[in-house]
Amino acid sequence: MARARQQPPVPFDPYQVFQALDRHHVQYVVIGAFARVIHGTRETTHAIDITPSMRADNQRRLAQALADLDARPTGDDPADADAPRAYATRAGALAIVPIPAGTRGYDDLRRQATRENIGQSCRPQVATPGDLARMLGALDDPASQERLLRLRRLIELDRSRGLAIEF
Amino acid sequence: MRAGLTQADLSERTGRDRSVIARWEQGVASPPVESLLACVHACGYDIPLVLQPIDTRLDDELRQGAAMAPIERVRELQDKLARERRS
């Protein structure tokens, strides 16, 4: 999952990333800071984090999209297929997080994820605020807790506009 | 999830209907406090309930963010990053 990052050497262009993923019909859910920004937390991030479907055909399409983006791994290649992988692309940083903390991965997140129109014909599936809170809640570091407080407050403000209580 | 329980397990341990638990999990509805505590206890955890003042310092900023469409939120981020690059 994306941490606060220094300003990268290439300008961050989320549209290029989503367009490449869509061009190759990659199935994924946007998570992390960029997803929270889409929901209105007004954070700053220079990266996109996604949770892709781990099915073999989708992994092939993802590899093609990464090649399209001139993606280079920025860390060691982990042996575990479910381990997160970070890439530098010509459009900025992209992290692949197969099993985000506190979740069961793509199939868990896509059930509630919503398609959001972010412009330039991009309508990625985005994890819900509740799922994003679940991820942050599973992380113990102070920065994640601070982000969680911000997200929870946003959820509370949104819910104060009306939610049923069921016993 | 952390306790490794299914909705059916939780239903059995708390006496709440599984369909109601599913609605809580999906965020369709919120559990009342006593049901929430029953679920947390059934998972082997506790929530210390301590009164704390609500931190409302971010409310104006977040309300403005909530009032924007996703497309505007992303545009705002890009504008912010462009300003950072220039400075």
Task: Give CA–CA dist B21/A52, Å, rounded.
Answer: 27
Interface predicted TM-score (ipTM): 0.87
Q: What is the pLDDT of residues A132-159, one digit of tens each?
A: 999 999 998 999 999 999 999 999 888 7
* B-proximal residues of A, 89-148, CB under 8 Å: 102-104, 112, 116-119, 126, 128, 130, 134, 138
Which of A19, A67, A59, A43 is closest to A154 using CA atoms?
A43
Calculate how close chain B gets to A108, using CA atoms only, in Å. Answer: 11
Average pLDDT on A100-116 reads 95
User: Which of B23, B63, B69 lies closest to A157 in CB terms?
Assistant: B63
Pairs across A and B, CB distance < 8 A: 94
Q: Residue A128: which H helix or E strand, with range? A: none
CB atoms B81 and A46 under 8 Å: yes
Task: Give CA–CA dist A5/A47, Å, rounded.
Answer: 8
- Report pLDDT for A166: 44
Chain B residues whose CB is inside 8 A of the A18 CB are: none
Task: Give CA–CA dist A47/A92, Å, rounded.
Answer: 6
Q: Is B18 exposed, middle or buried (0-12, 13-18, 19+ CB in 10 A)?
A: middle
Task: Give CA–CA dist B73/B57, Å, rounded.
Answer: 20
Q: What is the pLDDT of residues B6-29, one digit of tens each?
A: 889 999 999 999 999 988 887 788
- Report pLDDT for B47: 84
φ and ψ at B83, to 5 degrees? -65, -40
Neighbours of A101 (CB within 10 A): 15
DSSP B27-41: TSSB--HHHHHHHHH
Closest CA in chain B for residue A113: B26
Calculate how close chain A gets to B33, using CA atoms only, in Å. Answer: 10
